[in-house]
Amino acid sequence: MGNHPGRIVMLVQNGVVGDSRVQKEAESAAAAGWEVVLLGRTDSRASEWELGGARVRLVPTSRTFEQRLHEVRRAWLRSPLAYPPGPLESYRRKQVKAWRADLDFAEQRLAGRGAAAALPKLALGAKRVAVDAASLWIRSRTRASRLVRERRAAASAPIDKAAYRFWRVALGDRAWRRLDPALWDLELAFGPVVDELAPDLIHANDFQMLGVAARAKLRAKAKGRDVKLVWDAHEYLPGMKPWKSHPWWKEAQLAHEREHAPHADAVVTVSDTVATLLKDRHGLAAPPAVVMNVPDLPEIPVPAPQPGLRERCGIGPEASLLVYSGAPLEQRGMHIMVEALPSLPDAHAAFVVSKPHWRYVRRLQARAAELGLADRVHVLPYVDHREVVAFLSAADAGVIPIHHWENHEISLITKFFEYSHARLPLVVSDVKTMSEMVRRTGQGEVFRAEDTEDFLRAVKQVLSDPEKYREAYDTRVPLKEWTWQAQAERLTGVYEGLIGPAGAAT
């Protein structure tokens, strides 16, 4: 068998679009000469497209295991009155409505028939009493069913706590299979696709795809193929806010990560601090390579998309514009921008977000409407990652109002670099690493996280003399170090250390 460029399969548990890190990684690996297939998740139909020499495929992934086993069983002991999981509860509620509609129809047919309708009306009255009794019974069972769902979701009952302790003791790190079986949905969807592609190297983005990659590596080894695994830890899992509210979710992810991390041949992550934490947590021989998620700035600058940021907001150059760019999550504190606007009469807030339809974004818009500020709050979708810097540069300040979670304290996040290359004055919360950098460079102001009055102080300082902060980019901010080209060289160096340069695979 002759030489071939070597195939890299990248895995990510999102839809790829909007994830600048995985897009840049795929494009860079393809540009270095490897054959790259980037597999992402979709809840609908499969789709494919080209991305800078890489091939993107979205894999349809069910949510069969979103509920734990006990949540799909009937709660005989917890609440014998509750309906079994499934369509019966909804069916019975609608059945009562149908019965009432039929009784109304029968009464309307008897209208105007006088004494001849007396007996039929009496019968209808008896039927209505029976339907009312059935309705009361169904409402009682529906209420019991709702309470069962709520209790199971909270997992706060003694039996739930006992089950949690039992599975952790009985299964150890394998307990995620009971605590969050939704991880199996990823395995069942992606595993066969990875096997079919027969990669030389699997690049698993984040903690949930680590298990898919590790099991694919072991299956390949059982068939005599040596497949290398690179784990790309985007976040430090112990320090992050859970994606889901179920109290078992985070421990399940931690156990899943612990079980599969030993199978990684190399680890990369986003900052030196996270690298040190991962080395200590998983007993790695050396700290992971650091590949920061910084902008990809070509030699010939990419112009801003048209219409630009201000045009999409419907405002001119005279208005002050604060911008937030990123995922719309509550722990990222975007709502402080809306709450501050009444005290900033000439300012507008633009939210350039990955999921404009998410509930948190709708709440922001509703709150703006309550304050009479709907015309000064603008929700916009992402633009292509190559256009982000030029797009954001039309704002007067870049805002990063994230809350105090360990993950937020230990690294410089993507939007920090994007705002910096856009040469925006920054308004950032006092999370450790980022606030230290801003104070050192003078590129913005720091405020106390979740403190609206202090946020207002910082914003007013920045807007009063923006050029003071922009000047920092000429002398004190290391923009040349914060470019993707340097990071891509680190990543391809990791690949080459495992499978050799592109073209060396056989």
pLDDT digits (tens, 9 = 90+) for 26-59: 999 999 999 999 999 999 999 999 999 999 999 9
Q: What is the pLDDT of residue 228?
A: 98
Residue 505 lies in a domain: no
When pLDDT is averaged across residues 62-79 and rounded to a whole number, the result is 89
Whether 48 and 22 have beta carbons less than 8 Å apart is answered as no
- With a pLDDT cut of 90, the percent of the chain lying above it is 84
Buried b / exposed e across 208-237, counting CB within 10 Å, b at 16+? bbbbbbbbbbeebeeeeeebbbbbbbbbbb
Q: Are residues 137 and 271 in the same domain?
A: no
**Amino acid code (one letter) for 323:** V
Q: Are residues 385 and 442 in the same domain?
A: yes
Is the pLDDT reported for residue 2 higher than 60?
no
Cα gap 266→291, rounded to integer Å = 13
When pLDDT is averaged across residues 255-276 and rounded to a whole number, the result is 96
Whether 54 and 12 have beta carbons less than 8 Å apart is answered as no
- Give per-residue pLDDT as tens, 376-426: 999 999 998 889 999 999 999 999 999 999 989 998 999 999 999 999 999
pLDDT band with cut points at 50, 70 and 90 for residue 504: low
When pLDDT is averaged across residues 124-150 and rounded to a whole number, the result is 94
Q: Are residues 370 and 448 in the same domain?
A: yes
Residue 280 lies in a domain: yes
When pLDDT is averaged across residues 65-88 and rounded to a whole number, the result is 89
Q: What is the pLDDT of residue 501?
A: 92
Give bridge partners of residue 352 from the DSSP assignment: 325, 380
Q: What is the pLDDT of residue 114?
A: 76
The segment with the largest mean pLDDT, out of 3-12, 201-210, 483-492, is 201-210
Residue 160 lies in a domain: no
**Amino acid code (one letter) for 209:** M
Q: What is the pLDDT of residue 107?
A: 86
**Out of 47-61, 148-162, 338-352, 442-456, least confident range:** 148-162
When pLDDT is averaged across residues 196-223 and rounded to a whole number, the result is 98
| Residue of 357, 363, 318, 347 lying closest to 455 (CA atoms) | 347
Identify the residue with better confidence: 203 or 2. 203
Q: Are residues 262 and 361 in the same domain?
A: no
Q: Are residues 313 and 385 in the same domain?
A: yes
On the CB side of 131, CA atoms within 13 Å amount to: 18
| Residue of 356, 244, 397 lying closest to 18 (CA atoms) | 356
Q: Are residues 241 and 359 in the same domain?
A: no
Is the pLDDT reported for residue 506 higher than 60?
no
Please report the sign of the dihedral spanned by the C-alpha atoms of residue 69, residue 72, residue 76, residue 78: positive
Q: Are residues 265 and 372 in the same domain?
A: no
**Out of 65-69, 310-314, 356-360, 489-493, least confident range:** 65-69
Q: What is the pLDDT of residue 112?
A: 73
| Residue of 321, 339, 424 lying closest to 380 (CA atoms) | 321
- With a pLDDT cut of 70, the percent of the chain lying above it is 98
Which of 290, 321, 344 corresponds to the end of one domain? 290
Cα gap 301→386, rounded to integer Å = 9
When pLDDT is averaged across residues 249-277 and rounded to a whole number, the result is 97
Which structural domain range is residue 435 located in? 309-482
Q: What is the pLDDT of residue 444?
A: 97
Identify the residue with better confidence: 145 or 115. 145
- CA dihedral angle for residue 24, residue 29, residue 31, residue 37, rounded to 10 degrees: -90
Q: Are residues 321 and 439 in the same domain?
A: yes
Q: What is the pLDDT of residue 409?
A: 93
Which distant-in-sequence residues (6+ apart) come within 8 Å of 369 by Cβ? none
Q: Are residues 317 and 416 in the same domain?
A: yes
| Helical ranges in 54-157 per DSSP H | 88-110, 118-154
Q: Are residues 345 and 476 in the same domain?
A: yes
Residue 500 lies in a domain: no
Q: What is the pLDDT of residue 73?
A: 87
Contacts of residues 39-48 at CB distance under 8 Å and 24 or more positions apart, as own/partner, are 39/9, 39/10, 39/11, 39/12, 39/190, 39/193, 39/194, 40/12, 40/13, 40/14, 40/15, 40/16, 41/12, 41/13, 41/14, 41/15, 41/186, 41/189, 41/190, 42/15
Q: Would you put residue 454 in left (φ > 0), alpha (ψ -120 to 50) or beta?
A: alpha
Residue 496 lies in a domain: no
Q: Is 77 exposed, middle or buried (0-12, 13-18, 19+ CB in 10 A)?
A: exposed
Q: What is the pLDDT of residue 4?
A: 65
Cα gap 216→229, rounded to integer Å = 9
When pLDDT is averaged across residues 186-212 and rounded to a whole number, the result is 98
pLDDT band with cut points at 50, 70 and 90 for residue 116: confident
Identify the residue with better confidence: 354 or 212. 212
Residue 141 lies in a domain: yes
Is the pLDDT reported for residue 3 higher than 80?
no
Residue 85 lies in a domain: yes
On the CB side of 110, CA atoms within 13 Å amount to: 18
Cα gap 502→400, rounded to integer Å = 39
The model's pTM is 0.85
Q: Are residues 457 and 337 in the same domain?
A: yes
Which of 290, 317, 333 corresponds to the end of one domain? 290
Q: Please tell me the total count of domains within the chain.
A: 3
Two structure tokens written together for 503: 């073209």
CATH number, domain with residue 349 = 3.40.50.2000
Residue 1 lies in a domain: no
User: For all residues of the chain together, what is the average pLDDT?
Assistant: 94
Count of other CB atoms within 10 angstroms of residue 273: 17
DSSP state of 462: H
Q: What is the pLDDT of residue 121?
A: 81
Q: Are residues 190 and 52 in the same domain?
A: yes
Is the pLDDT reported for residue 240 higher than 70?
yes
Is the pLDDT reported for residue 1 higher than 50?
no
Whether 198 and 226 have beta carbons less than 8 Å apart is answered as no
Phi, psi angles (nearest 5°) of residue 484? -70, -30
